[in-house]
Structure 1
Amino acid sequence: MTSSGASSGARVRFAHAPGFWVIAAAFLITLAFSTVPTPLYAIYQHRDGFPTYVITVIFASYAIGVMASLYLAGHVSDWLGRRRIALLAVLAQVVSAVIFLVWQDVPGLLIARFICGVGVGVLTATATAHLSELRQIARPAEDPSRSALISSMVNLGGLAFGPLVAGLLAQYVASPLERPYEVFLVLLLLSAVGIALVPETVERLEERPAYRPQRVAVPSASKPLFFASAIGAFAAFAVFGLFTSLAPTFLGGVLHHRAPLLAGVVTFVVFTAGAVSQAVFVRFERGHQLRIGLGFMSLGLIGVAVGGLIPNLAVFVVGGVIAGAGAGLVFRGAVATAASLAGPTTRGEVLAALFLIAYVGLAVPVLAIGLGIALLPAQVALLVFSAIILILVNAAVLRMLKATT
């Protein structure tokens, strides 16, 4: 239940309209922090000499943290309040940043990434709901889809900016494994202060319900279409997972470009393409978005594979950008399709199931390609990855398109 602000307390200094942008900024900073390690993995690897699959394990610990928190705590802000849970999520990121700074061995990286994932999972669910409610109170006549678009763009935009900032700092500032975390530690603390001053939009219940994990429900009559949507989301996240974990390894090894800034820029443009494509094609109907997204992802995955095989930096990067643009549209279409399968009382549960499967896509394919690199040439592993994701996304999108016609 939302409140117009009576329960927000006398300490709140922001109105709902500026509070919306404070939460959006905190969301963006938190997600940016989650991708800060991307251009730094190669530096850790060069310093410590661990094999490439260790990078995928470190990255997978983040995805596991996200999935665990989505399932166990993604819904608790419905009972305890948006502001309180968002604040706890950001403070978890503060803890993660401190661990990155004081414990830079592999065990420390694993723990820091897991805690980071936990914070992101909690904040993703909480901030998305909080943004929607703040916007509804501030602008009740506005189309709710605008808030959803802003939330989606903040999500992908944050994931894009983290590697760019980290790459810049690692390239041009001393202590590349400390400065990025120090900068984001300050930004996260400022975000926590801002969240504490934002209005609450949920009335806390006098009798708190008994805790239960997030229900994960799939409508039985629509299971084939739901799983098609879930596979589409899985494939889209697999592309993003590749560029937030192993892309710097391919750039430095196969393509012989080791600059941290380049690794950050490549990841930045891939995620930015995903956000921009959603904004550019927002007025298109879902079927057209899915067709465009499928075309972009197919062409981009081919480009990524060819760029690795030749090898050619330009082809690899252009392929990644096109694949990222397609992944943004496919993911948006998958969410819209899944949401349409359930009524208001079960929509959250259906989307919870979709996001859990999507985050499996963030972890499992990247783990598989990391292990593949240990057994096969990197170019072959990348080719196999691209082929599998290409098959999955075509099967998923064609099934979703069949349902929309």
Structure 2
Amino acid sequence: MTVTAAPRHERATSTRHGTGFWLIAAVFAVSMAFSTVPTPLYPIYQREDGFTPFTVTIVFAVYAVGVVTSLLLAGHISDWVGRRRVLLPALALEAVAAVLFLVWPALPGLLIARFVTGLGVGMITATATAYLLELHSAHKPNAGRGRFELVSAAANLGGLGAGTLVAGALAQFVDAPLRTPYLVFLVLLALSAVAVAATPETVIAPAVKPRYRPQRIRVAAADQAGYAVAAASAFAGFAVFGLFTSLAPSFVAGSLHHPGRLLAGVVVFLVFGAAAATQAASNALSPARRFTTGVVAQAAGLIVLGAGMQLSSLMLFLVGGAIAGGGAGLLFKSAVGAVAAMAAPEVRGEALAGLFLIAYLGLIGPALGLGIATRFLSATTAMLWFTGILLALLGATAATNRALRS
């Protein structure tokens, strides 16, 4: 039997797609990391400008509104204009936000910079996820999706955690804590643009482009119930992430009396790091087992987190956050995998954009609700109510999924 080698140009194309896969993974990680840079810095902003916890949640909600706005208006258009033509403007928006953080550190500048950051992130999330899947398939056409799922989740959630850790460390050990982190990421964003330009495009533009319309949540009619479960899972997972990227650093510094800047970054990093780690370790699990494990882990973590708040225990708070984050990571991976599998290739970016849209609504609603609640209740009481409501949502999602499978 004679084995014929692939033509040289095919091998070269495959290599370019393989290199591009890792370049886009790095770009994805950098862009997501930049989005959480302000998180460990909020206590500094609060001290210098007299912010209240409610103001912090408004700043955070403005970012999430930017993400949702971008997902509605542009998160899906890479399906016909190309992945690179969406990623490059998105990175430019993040670079503009970095400049705004540097030159306008007052509250109005912070609000505008966070909104612009959200616009960039909304364009990047679904686009980069779809891009990674297509680059993976072009490089390893006969392989499963395990590598794609692992790397895309690590870039997304791992990047979110890395941003807080890097910013917290820089704020703790380097001069100008409200400038240095943004300067570092401005350089990284410029390098990311170069990486995108060097990566081959995976979308062939249609001869007749579809008429533009805002984002719709689209999936095959037969999968609507499964899509709803995936969307609820993503919402619940991102609600935990929203808690830790909005109020948790201030809660640790105030109610738990641990004001260190590096610790503020570590608190958030533990949650996202646990999410990325559980995703990496879950490849051997079936989709059904991954979903169930995610629900149980997030629920258990929320209970431990609530105990830590009630007892003013930093250790319990951190352990509960890590467990809840691990569960949220599994739920989010389950949701992305389910939607990527059920959506046809020509609408994959749109379906993923819809999923991310719902997920980021999970960031806005609970975080904003917590901020409002802290005006009338203690931070501990408000966060305990948050955990109770989220436990109820997890229970309803698990019950719906079980009914669909029975």
Global fold match (TM > 0.5): yes
Shift of 1:397: 1.9
CA contact (8 A) 2:90 2:123 kept: yes
- 1:102 equivalent to 2:103? Answer yes
2:123 corresponds to: 122
2:75 corresponds to: 74
Over 3 Å counting, the alpha-carbon distance change for 1:211 and 1:136 in structure 2 is same
- State the Cα deviation string for residues 286-311 of structure 1 (Å, max 9, x = none): 22112211221111111111111110
Supply the AA of the counterpart residue of 1:228. Answer: V
Supply the AA of the counterpart residue of 1:20. Answer: F
Shift of 1:332: 2.2
- State the Cα deviation string for residues 21-40 of structure 1 (Å, max 9, x = none): 11111110000000000100
CA distance in 1, matches of 2:48, 2:243: 22
Partner SS for 1:200: coil
CA contact (8 A) 1:289 1:330 kept: yes
2:63 corresponds to: 62
CA distance in 2, matches of 1:229, 1:22: 28
Kindly report the root-mean-square deviation, in angstroms, between the aligned alpha carbons of the 2 structures. Answer: 2.1
CA contact (8 A) 1:287 1:401 kept: no
1:139 corresponds to: 140
CA distance in 2, matches of 1:346, 1:203: 13
CA distance in 1, matches of 2:35, 2:376: 29
CA contact (8 A) 1:232 1:392 kept: no
Any stretches of 5+ residues in structure 2 without a counterpart? 1-8
Shift of 1:355: 2.3
Larger CA deviation: 279-288 vs 24-33: 279-288
Supply the AA of the counterpart residue of 1:94. Answer: A
Shift of 1:364: 0.7
CA distance in 2, matches of 1:23, 1:341: 23
CA distance in 1, matches of 2:349, 2:31: 23
1:16 corresponds to: 17
Shift of 1:223: 4.8
CA distance in 2, matches of 1:165, 1:199: 30
Shift of 1:221: 5.7
CA distance in 1, matches of 2:276, 2:176: 31
Larger CA deviation: 327-336 vs 311-320: 327-336
Shift of 1:103: 0.7
- 1:158 equivalent to 2:159? Answer yes
Name the TM-score, length of structure 2 as normaliser: 0.92
CA distance in 2, matches of 1:292, 1:283: 13
Supply the AA of the counterpart residue of 1:194. Answer: A
CA contact (8 A) 2:126 2:349 kept: no
Over 3 Å counting, the alpha-carbon distance change for 1:82 and 1:158 in structure 2 is same
1:332-347 correspondence to structure 2 within 5 Å: 332-338=333-339
CA distance in 1, matches of 2:299, 2:210: 46
CA distance in 1, matches of 2:31, 2:206: 28
Shift of 1:155: 0.5
Shift of 1:128: 1.4
1:142-291 correspondence to structure 2 within 5 Å: 142-217=143-218, 223-291=224-292
2:398 corresponds to: 397
Over 3 Å counting, the alpha-carbon distance change for 1:165 and 1:372 in structure 2 is same
1:9 corresponds to: none
Supply the AA of the counterpart residue of 1:59. Answer: F
1:14-53 correspondence to structure 2 within 5 Å: 15-53=16-54
Over 3 Å counting, the alpha-carbon distance change for 1:162 and 1:374 in structure 2 is same
Supply the AA of the counterpart residue of 2:314. Answer: L
CA distance in 1, matches of 2:337, 2:160: 21
Over 3 Å counting, the alpha-carbon distance change for 1:58 and 1:129 in structure 2 is same
- State the Cα deviation string for residues 354-398 of structure 1 (Å, max 9, x = none): 322211111110001111111101110010001000110121023
CA distance in 2, matches of 1:339, 1:194: 25
CA contact (8 A) 1:229 1:396 kept: no
Supply the AA of the counterpart residue of 1:79. Answer: W
Partner SS for 2:203: coil
Larger CA deviation: 113-122 vs 192-201: 192-201
CA distance in 1, matches of 2:23, 2:343: 31
Supply the AA of the counterpart residue of 1:311. Answer: S
Identity over the aligned pairs, expressed in percent?
51
Shift of 1:352: 3.5
Larger CA deviation: 239-248 vs 350-359: 350-359
Larger CA deviation: 39-48 vs 355-364: 355-364
Partner SS for 1:174: coil
Over 3 Å counting, the alpha-carbon distance change for 1:196 and 1:338 in structure 2 is closer
CA contact (8 A) 2:308 2:315 kept: yes
CA contact (8 A) 1:82 1:127 kept: yes
CA contact (8 A) 1:217 1:349 kept: yes
Over 3 Å counting, the alpha-carbon distance change for 1:397 and 1:344 in structure 2 is farther
Supply the AA of the counterpart residue of 2:229. Answer: A
CA contact (8 A) 2:343 2:351 kept: yes
Shift of 1:182: 0.5
CA contact (8 A) 2:28 2:128 kept: yes
Name the TM-score, length of structure 1 as normaliser: 0.92
Shift of 1:226: 3.7
Shift of 1:208: 3.6
Supply the AA of the counterpart residue of 1:297. Answer: Q
Over 3 Å counting, the alpha-carbon distance change for 1:22 and 1:226 in structure 2 is closer
